């Protein structure tokens, strides 16, 4: 039997959405303060207007739709899927008001790209963007990377009984602590420790490059948001290439990898057993895929010096694998990569990082499980007919690879593959070459942000909408959106 | 005489063709957008481009990187001399239009020294001074903000009243 929502359920959903909008308005106070502090008059008005709009909409929803019942799983799935749409739409308002976008659709694209930690950009003249707007662009990645709902969960006490519904709905499959609120708080604590470390390191490097101290701190903060939350935005149009610093590139690699690893692994390494890092299944699969793809890239870029290989090849590869999207080559240069190199980067984007991390894509755990299940199948065929064979993986503890887990991995793998191919087909239909269309589609659906130049304000509106949908569904891993649609269908079918 | 005249015509014709062939190529080499869009074509060739100086000069061991922007395209120029960089007074950022500079140098898609793309500058000239850019706030934006503020405060008051009533009712019930 399928659970069907009642009319009163929608009242609860709108009430939670209203509260989330109030939280969004609260987040806007930070860029508002930055605009005020720097005397950026026009951006100050942009954020003031956006703040009042988000707060008004939030209050209207809370007043019109009072919370009459306990929050349940139905509400959780609806809220998560709608919450991301609402956040991206209202988050686009200050961006649009900045005057750096051709139309509201472009601003919405940028906002969704930020919240979904993708990093594809449609902004124009980024080099002349205010501190306040840049703060907002990067803050969207931090909010999105940590989980919008998760961010609000830490303060929403009434949602505690179904907190796990919100948590799972945002594409996270593992709890770190028995209590989800505790898990959310642990993730925030870890993030703030890394934030302090990251901002210090990045700022020091940037000051060495000649940026004035305040600007260096701002850029350090934004680059940290982009690296650790695997977002890929940068405050300058040339992305990481602007800084011309191999040292900075190496430092961003470290934080991209920290962001791409499972938060559970951070927890174990920090508080339980440091040796877990050597035994962990995800880490091993990550190293396996990374070195295999690096070998492909090495053969395609043969003849370059070691530093050239790192800066041109490995940097794009690690950025793709961690789902960050930082790049030190221009979008005109990326398509000039040899085909084998492009394929390596596309595969890296498709795989992504760890489950329960800030990355999107299929995830290394699922790829590992699929590889393991293939090997198991071969072994089974080689064994006596009646023998029973159970495979294990080590992820924090020894886990038997159950059929349910394997099936889940295949389901997600298929869903992502359909999304990657679907986006590529739309690209081809709009006249772009196949490989480049596939590259851009995978980049959007896997929330990476590397671009071969297709993503531009001049691209057809239909492709902007498709990429927005890909970023949204990819970030939430389809599940909560499909469940919400299923509930809606069952409601109208009654 | 006739033969000599014919030969002369051919020489002029070939020279004119050469010039006509060279002009677009030379023009292309003068546009930052063209060079950044086709890095392979201009690899290891001398180019002269113009663009707005962006951000700040970025130090390296033996020189400075100057990032240039024009028509939405970007290129970096590596300058050895501090004096040349000092000619640039305004650097593009929010509220500031950077100086428009012309650089001549060899463009590398992958430079053997820095392993990134950029121009190794031989000469740098400031073509046009930048300056402050004002961003006025439109009257519509101000009116919209005031209206949104009034709506927001009204909703907030309604919310407070409703909350007070709800608490009072809950207290009466208990």
Three-state secondary structure string covering chain B: CHHHHHHHHHHHHHHHHHHHHHHHHHHHCCCHHHHHHCHHHHCCEEEEEEEEEEEEEEECCCCEEEEEEECCEEEEEEECCHHHHHCCCCCEECCEECCEEEEEEEEECCCCCCCCCEEEEEEEEEEECCEECCCCCCHHHHHHHHHHHHHHHHHHHHHHHHHHHHHHHHHHHC
Q: Measured between CA atoms, how close is A387 to chain B, in angstroms? A: 57
Q: Residue A304: list chain B partners with CB under 8 A.
A: 110, 115
Helix, strand, or coil here: A72? coil
Which pLDDT score is estimated for A153? 56
Q: Same domain, yes or no, for B41 and B116?
A: yes
Please tell me the pTM assigned to this model: 0.88
Q: Measured between CA atoms, how close is A91 to chain B, in angstroms? A: 16
Which pLDDT score is estimated for A389? 75
Which pLDDT score is estimated for A157? 45
Q: Same domain, yes or no, for B81 and B155?
A: no
Would you say residue A310 has pLDDT above 80?
yes
Per-residue pLDDT band for A166 (boundaries 50, 70, 90) equals: low
Check residues A234 and B16 and name the one with the higher pLDDT: A234
CB contact under 8 A, A208 and B59: yes
Q: Same domain, yes or no, for B143 and B128?
A: no
Can you name the residues that pair with B106 across neighbouring β-strands? Answer: B46, B120
Mean pLDDT along residues B24-50: 79
CB contact under 8 A, B136 and A42: yes
Q: What's the CA gap between B110 and A360, in Å, rounded?
A: 31
Check residues A275 and A282 and name the one with the higher pLDDT: A282
Mean pLDDT along residues A60-80: 81
Q: Percent of chain B at pLDDT above 70?
A: 83
B155 interface with A at CB cutoff 8 Å? yes
> What residues contact A23, with CB distance under 8 A and at least 6 apart?
A151, A152, A155
Which pLDDT score is estimated for A197? 95
Q: Measured between CA atoms, how close is B4 to chain A, in angstroms? A: 50
Check residues A426 and A385 and name the one with the higher pLDDT: A426
Mean pLDDT along residues A271-296: 87
Q: Same domain, yes or no, for B98 and B41?
A: yes
Q: What's the CA gap between A227 and B43, in Å, rounded?
A: 31
Number of domains in chain B: 2
Domain boundaries, chain A: 1-172+480-494
Specify if B42 maps to a domain.
Answer: yes
Helix, strand, or coil here: A353? coil
Mean pLDDT along residues A473-489: 84
Which pLDDT score is estimated for A165? 58
B162 interface with A at CB cutoff 8 Å? yes
Specify if B1 maps to a domain.
Answer: no
Would you say residue A270 has pLDDT above 90?
no
Query: In chain B, positions 7-26, which contact chain A (CB-CB < 8 Å)?
Result: none
Q: Would you say B32 and B50 are in contact if contact means Cβ atoms under 8 Å apart?
A: yes
Q: Same domain, yes or no, for B43 and B86?
A: yes
User: Lowest-pLDDT range, A45-59, A76-90, A107-121, A201-215?
Assistant: A76-90
**What residues make up the domain containing B166?**
138-174
Would you say residue A30 has pLDDT above 70?
yes
B159 interface with A at CB cutoff 8 Å? yes
Which pLDDT score is estimated for A178? 59
Q: Does the ipTM surpass 0.85? A: no
Specify if B123 maps to a domain.
Answer: yes
B74 interface with A at CB cutoff 8 Å? yes
Specify if B6 maps to a domain.
Answer: no
CB contact under 8 A, B54 and A59: no
Q: Same domain, yes or no, for B59 and B107?
A: yes
Unique residue bearing structure tokens 């051919």: B10
pLDDT single digits (tens) A241-266 = 999 999 999 999 999 999 888 888 88
Which pLDDT score is estimated for A446? 93
Check residues A439 and B1 and name the one with the higher pLDDT: A439
Residue of B55, B141, B152 lying closest to A56 (CB–CB) = B152
The C-alpha angle with vertex A194 and arms to A237 and A208, in degrees rounded to 5, equals: 50
> What residues contact B18, with CB distance under 8 A and at least 6 apart?
none
Q: Same domain, yes or no, for B128 and B149?
A: no
CB contact under 8 A, B155 and A244: no
Per-residue pLDDT band for B26 (boundaries 50, 70, 90) equals: very low
CB contact under 8 A, B39 and A333: yes
Which pLDDT score is estimated for A35? 96
Q: Residue B72: list chain A partners with CB under 8 A.
A: 124-125
Check residues A357 and A105 and name the one with the higher pLDDT: A105
CB contact under 8 A, B145 and A42: no
Check residues A277 and A252 and name the one with the higher pLDDT: A252
Maximal C-alpha separation, chain A: 77
Would you tell me the crossing angle of helices A41-64 and B139-173 to the nearest 10 degrees?
30
Instruction: Provide the number of CB pairs (under 8 Å) joining chain A to chain B.
Output: 123
Q: Measured between CA atoms, how close is B121 to chain A, in angstroms? A: 16
Would you say residue A420 has pLDDT above 70?
yes
Can you name the residues that pair with A394 across neighbouring β-strands? Answer: A398
Would you say residue A71 has pLDDT above 90?
no
Average pLDDT, chain A: 87
Mean pLDDT along residues B103-122: 88
Mean pLDDT along residues A387-405: 81
Per-residue pLDDT band for A29 (boundaries 50, 70, 90) equals: very high
Would you say residue B39 has pLDDT above 50?
yes
Would you say residue A131 has pLDDT above 50?
yes
- Compute the CA torsion angle A444, A445, A446, A450 (nearest 10 deg): -10
Specify if B60 maps to a domain.
Answer: yes
pLDDT single digits (tens) A208-231 = 999 999 999 999 999 999 999 888
Would you say residue A381 has pLDDT above 90?
no
Compare all CA atoms of chain A with the CA of B159 and give the residue at the minimum distance: A63
Q: Same domain, yes or no, for B101 and B125?
A: yes
Can you name the residues that pair with B54 across neighbouring β-strands? Answer: B67, B92
CB contact under 8 A, A244 and B60: yes
Q: Percent of chain A at pLDDT above 70?
A: 92
Q: What's the CA gap between B75 and A270, in Å, rounded?
A: 43
Q: Residue B56 belongs to a domain with what CATH number?
A: 2.40.50.140
Q: Same domain, yes or no, for B56 and B79?
A: yes
Specify if B85 maps to a domain.
Answer: yes
Query: In chain B, positions 100-119, which contact chain A (CB-CB < 8 Å)?
Result: 109-110, 112, 114-118
| Sign, Cα dihedral of A93, A94, A97, A99 | negative
Specify if B9 maps to a domain.
Answer: no
């Amino acid at each position: 039997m399928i659970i069907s929502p009642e009319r009163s359920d929608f009242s609860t959903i709108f009430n939670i959405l209203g509260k989330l909008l109030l939280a969004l308005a609260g987040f806007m106070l930070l860029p508002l303060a930055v605009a005020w502090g720097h005397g950026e008059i026009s951006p100050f008005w942009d954020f003031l207007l956006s703040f009042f709009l988000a707060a008004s909409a939030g209050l209207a929803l809370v007043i019109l739709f009072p919370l009459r019942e306990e929050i349940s799983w139905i509400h959780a799935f609806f809220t998560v899927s709608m919450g991301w749409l609402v956040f991206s739409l209202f988050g686009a308002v200050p961006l649009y008001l900045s005057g750096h976008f051709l139309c509201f659709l472009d601003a919405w694209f940028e906002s969704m790209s930020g919240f979904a930690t993708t990093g594809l950009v449609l902004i124009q003249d980024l080099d002349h963007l205010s501190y306040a707007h840049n703060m907002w662009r990067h803050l969207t990645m931090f909010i999105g990377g940590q989980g919008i709902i998760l961010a609000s969960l830490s303060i929403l006490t009434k949602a505690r009984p179904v907190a796990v519904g919100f948590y799972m709905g945002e594409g996270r499959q593992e709890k770190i602590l028995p209590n989800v609120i505790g898990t959310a708080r642990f993730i925030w604590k870890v993030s703030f420790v890394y934030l302090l470390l990251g901002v210090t390191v990045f700022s020091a490097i940037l000051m060495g490059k000649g940026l004035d101290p305040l600007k260096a701190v701002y850029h350090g903060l934004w680059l940290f948001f982009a690296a650790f939350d695997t977002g890929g935005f940068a405050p300058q149009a040339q992305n990481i290439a602007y800084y011309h610093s191999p040292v900075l590139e190496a430092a961003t690699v470290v934080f991209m990898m920290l962001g791409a690893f499972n938060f559970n692994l951070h927890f174990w390494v920090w508080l339980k057993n440091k040796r877990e890092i050597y035994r962990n299944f995800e880490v091993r699969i990550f190293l396996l895929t990374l070195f295999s793809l690096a070998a492909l890239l090495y053969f395609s870029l043969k003849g370059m010096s070691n530093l050239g290989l790192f800066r041109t090849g490995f940097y794009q590869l690690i950025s793709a694998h961690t789902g960050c999207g930082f790049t030190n080559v221009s979008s005109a240069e990326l398509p000039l990569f040899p085909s084998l190199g492009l394929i390596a980067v596309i595969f890296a984007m498709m795989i992504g990082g760890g489950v329960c991390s800030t990355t999107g894509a299929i995830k290394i755990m699922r790829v590992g499980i699929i590889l393991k299940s293939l090997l198991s199948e071969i072994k089974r065929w080689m064994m006596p007919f009646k023998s029973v064979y159970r495979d294990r993986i080590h992820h924090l503890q020894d886990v038997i690879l159950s059929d349910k887990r394997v099936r889940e991995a295949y389901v997600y793998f298929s869903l992502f593959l359909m999304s990657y191919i679907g986006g590529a087909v739309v690209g081809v239909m709009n006249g772009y070459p196949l490989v480049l269309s596939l590259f851009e589609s995978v980049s959007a659906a896997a929330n990476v942000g590397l671009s071969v130049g297709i993503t531009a304000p001049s691209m057809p509106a239909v492709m902007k909408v498709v990429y927005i949908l890909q970023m949204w569904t990819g970030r939430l891993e389809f599940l909560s959106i499909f469940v919400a649609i299923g509930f809606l269908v069952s409601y109208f079918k009654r | 005489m006739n033969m000599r005249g014919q030969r002369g015509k051919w020489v002029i014709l070939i020279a004119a063709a050469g010039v006509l062939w060279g002009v677009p190529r030379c023009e292309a080499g003068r546009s930052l957008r063209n060079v950044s869009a086709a890095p392979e074509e201009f690899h290891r060739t001398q180019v002269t481009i113009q663009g707005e100086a962006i951000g700040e000069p970025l130090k390296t061991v033996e020189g400075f990187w100057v990032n240039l922007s024009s028509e939405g395209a970007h290129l970096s120029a590596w300058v050895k001399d501090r004096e040349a960089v000092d000619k640039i007074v305004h650097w593009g950022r929010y509220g500031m239009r950077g100086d428009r500079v012309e650089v001549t140098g060899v463009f590398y898609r992958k430079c053997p020294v820095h392993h990134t793309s950029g121009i190794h500058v031989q000469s740098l000239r400031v073509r046009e001074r930048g300056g402050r850019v004002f961003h006025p706030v439109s009257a519509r934006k101000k009116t919209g903000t005031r209206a949104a503020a009034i709506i927001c405060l009204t909703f907030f008051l309604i919310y407070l009243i409703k909350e007070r009533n709800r608490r009072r009712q809950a207290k009466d019930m208990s």
